[in-house]
Structure formats: C-alpha cells, structure tokens
Amino acid sequence: MSNDKVVNNSYELLKSKYSNSFENDAKKDIEDIISQLYEISETLKKYKLDHDIQPFNAKPLE
C-alpha cells in the first residue's frame, strides 16, 4: 500500500475512533505524523534480526 493511502486510511480510522478528541484543523499535522511513523516502520523492516535476539527484558520470573 502506498504511503498516501496508508496515511489517508489511518487518519480516517483515528477520526472514527477519536472523533471528539481532536479538531479537523489538526488533520494535516496528524497526517504528517502518520506518514513519518509509516516511514519509521518501513525503516525497521530493513533490519533483519536473528530469532535468537529476544526483546529487551525478556527474562524468567525470579
């Protein structure tokens, strides 16, 4: 899915979930953040990790 489509769909999703929580005049700023988060996600994908690498703090109970 293209960045534009992701941004548009995501904004609509947020609007439906939090319709009373932010004003429409924040639309451009919110879309900008969504776009940057999408780019960040794409960047993370480029880093391939061995499955031995577990999340930080994944420790057994003591």
Partner 1 sequence: MESNTFLYKSIRDLSKRIQKKEVKPSEIGKYFFNRISLLGPELNSVVSLLPELAEKSWDSADKQNEIKTILHGIPYGIKDLISVSYKDTGLSNIDSPPTTWGAKPLANQKFEGTATIVKRLNRDKAIPLAKLAMVELAGGLGYKQPNASLTGPGLNPWDTSRWTGGSSSGSGAAVAAGLVPFALGTETWGSILTPAVYCGITGLRPTLGLVSRNGAMALSWTLDKIGPMCLTADDCGIVLNSISGYDPKDSSSSRKRFSYDPEFKITNKPKLAIIKGILETCDEDVKDNFNASVEILSKFTEIEEIDLPEYPYEIVTRIILFSESTSAMEDFIDDDLAQSLTAPEDRFSIFPRTLISAKDYIKALRMRKVIMGIVSNIYKQYDAIIAPTKPSTAPPSEGEFRGSVRSGYDPMGSIGNLTGLPAISVPNGFGKQDNLPTGFQIMGQPFSENLLISIAKEYQNVTKWHLEHPKKYSGG
Binding site for partner 1 (CB under 8 A): 10, 13-14, 17-18, 20-23, 26, 29-30, 32-34, 36-37, 40-41, 43-44, 47, 49, 53-57
Residue with tokens 């319709």: 19
> For the purposes of burial, counting CB atoms within 10 Å of the CB of 14, is it exposed (0-12), middle (13-18) or buried (19 or more)?
middle
Shortest CB 17 distance to partner 1, Å: 8
CA–CA separation, 5 and 7 (whole Å): 5
Shortest CB 4 distance to partner 1, Å: 15
Shortest CB 7 distance to partner 1, Å: 10
